[in-house]
Structure 1
């Protein structure tokens, strides 16, 4: 079994420092002691300051003069040499780890990763090792290629930071690794999954737990990972070891946003993966979709939450906040739909969000 070194002193102790203290304790001046053991004072000074290593001959001189066994002085020298060599090796490893982290930090936020993952070590090597263990980091250059290949679009009116988005996706993948499904994903069960989710989302009672249970029993991993700064992310869909995954941020903490985000990512799973499991869809806030995959996932979400055949029966109301909210809330009640999911859809279609909240819009 390999022996692990649990502690490496920060500073190697010079045997000359021990000799210096010994002479001071005995009240012996260095020049007098040099004369006593037959050495030039300059040579003794070099031993004391580590410019010369303690030899067997010098240790025997010390043994004779100070009555301290020569093997003690030789052991001090050996310990110093080993500690110094080990520290040099660690310094090289620390510098290499620092250089690697510096390259990674150009692509992902090391500060945010260590904070979210609870990594508090002051050793660069330890930080890098823990990040590798938790995240399975690819080389920086390869990670950059992955970032460029991710499916997300930037909105000109929203501050998107690709570096922070990639950081968040790594956190999402680390979190999803902890999740276990209880069933197997079967695309033929699409209608049943949609209906179960739709019912739970419109009812909005113990919503997150019930959504999670539905997805897990149908072989879809699900979790919530809080967003980072400059990452207006709503959801993320991908495959982890051949298991479909959905991660949402609960960015606005409103039932209409949450419902749409879950269904949007579910749309990616049903519509856009097929045999190619290497795609990753990161959904960020946009004023208008410019990507066909995202537009298709939007339509899937809208139609899943409120089927088009029902939506066509929605009331026609003049563009007045009070009238829109009143009429669409009444219409939602008649069709046993969540009024905020309904208002969220009409608000999105009209780009109109001035609705008066009554405390029921949150995720319950």
Structure 2
């Protein structure tokens, strides 16, 4: 859109001089009215000084005009004379209003350069040829973003995280995806969920099936746990380890594997961006999300067995009970604890998440040797 150049604005002293002529007053007359020294008034008329609020009130009284008129004259003149704004201000403001640019620079995803290169960097980051093709900037449709699981539209921060996952995955060459191998690998994946020391082997099991697992640390202010996205016919699972606890890792991973098995999102430009909030509306989830939730929960613990266990023990479930139940079902105790916590929370127990919390140890350290990762003081080397 083109804007016309505003006409030049004279110093307020020019108006004062013209007003004196129209009234047939001399500068000495106005100096007398204002009780000013004549040289003081002459300096204002010649543009050597500016109109202050006190001056505006005095001139308003002298000319029977609003004081605001004189203040506005001075303001318009000052704005015209002000140094032209850095043209990069608008560029930076446009991007920062939608995406976490400063955090992207801090994480090494963008270089801290002049603003005129920021547009180019953002287009490269989003693999777009034009700014108009970047989601949330130039179009209403959010490319590569799913209908979130019962939440509103995806945020700019979540979209950035998703694209970082995709860029890291695209930089790695994996075997062709083989669904049969993935199905056959499920028991081995499940077996590696018994001991947290074995968690780190799971990404490699999926790699041999043609499924790339990418870990990208959560961006501040965003809620995102996992994603299933596709690069052509190759599935990618992105994990943020947001809660950094074993039960969440195992559930989110198996949930995303189900999306892969069902090829959810493969035929569209959308991906499944998942946030697992204990207070989310389960009834409002899309069918594919409910299906993945059920598959994940059943994969980890037979749900009928867990229901029977909780009914028998009631509210008096002990640590010994949990350890025995987890050993019987060959799963890490934290997975049992996490599911008990969530069930109790949904039943209204306000202290549900305090139950045996010491077993919910951090898990990110088990994946620090995996090459497809970003964050935790590591920057994936994929270029801009």
- TM-score bracket, normalised by the shorter chain, equals 0.5 to 0.7
Structure 1 residues 361 and 122, CA, compared in 2 at 3 Å: closer, same or farther? Answer: closer
CA contact (8 A) 1:328 1:342 kept: yes
Count of residue pairs brought into register by the alignment = 264
Q: 2:42 is matched with which residue?
A: none
Question: Paired residue for 1:298, among 283, 286, 293?
Answer: 293
Higher relative contact order (CA 8 A, sep 6+): 2
Shift of 1:125: 2.4
Q: 1:164 is matched with which residue?
A: 157
Q: Secondary structure at the match of 1:238?
A: strand
Question: Paired residue for 1:342, among 324, 336, 342?
Answer: 336
Shift of 1:265: 0.9
Q: 1:113 is matched with which residue?
A: 104
Question: Paired residue for 1:256, among 233, 247, 253?
Answer: 247
> Counting helix residues as a fraction of each chain, which structure ranks higher?
1
> Over aligned residue pairs, what C-alpha RMSD do you find?
2.9
Structure 1 residues 192 and 108, CA, compared in 2 at 3 Å: closer, same or farther? Answer: same
Asked if 1:211 corresponds to 2:206, the answer is: no
Asked if 1:285 corresponds to 2:276, the answer is: yes
CA contact (8 A) 1:237 1:245 kept: yes
Asked if 1:147 corresponds to 2:142, the answer is: yes
Structure 1 residues 111 and 126, CA, compared in 2 at 3 Å: closer, same or farther? Answer: same
Could you tell me which runs of 5 or more consecutive residues in structure 1 were left unpaired when the two chains were aligned. 1-93
Q: 2:81 is matched with which residue?
A: none
Structure 1 residues 140 and 319, CA, compared in 2 at 3 Å: closer, same or farther? Answer: farther
1:226-281 Cα distance to aligned partner (Å, 9 max, x none):
11122121101110132100010111211111111111111111225276153301
TM-score of the pair, normalised by structure 2: 0.60
1:134 and 1:100 map into 2 onto residues whose CA distance is 16
Q: 1:35 is matched with which residue?
A: none
Q: 1:186 is matched with which residue?
A: 178
Q: Secondary structure at the match of 1:179?
A: coil
CA contact (8 A) 1:273 1:279 kept: no
CA contact (8 A) 2:177 2:211 kept: yes
Structure 1 residues 362 and 119, CA, compared in 2 at 3 Å: closer, same or farther? Answer: closer
TM-score of the pair, normalised by structure 1: 0.63
Could you tell me which runs of 5 or more consecutive residues in structure 2 were left unpaired when the two chains were aligned. 1-85, 346-351, 367-384
List, as ranges, runs of 4+ consecutive aligned residues in structure 1 with deviation greater than 6 Å: none
Shift of 1:338: 1.3
2:274 and 2:117 map into 1 onto residues whose CA distance is 33
Q: 1:8 is matched with which residue?
A: none
CA contact (8 A) 1:315 1:331 kept: no
Structure 1 residues 117 and 146, CA, compared in 2 at 3 Å: closer, same or farther? Answer: farther
Q: 1:329 is matched with which residue?
A: 323
Q: Secondary structure at the match of 1:196?
A: helix
Q: 1:37 is matched with which residue?
A: none
Structure 1 residues 353 and 230, CA, compared in 2 at 3 Å: closer, same or farther? Answer: same
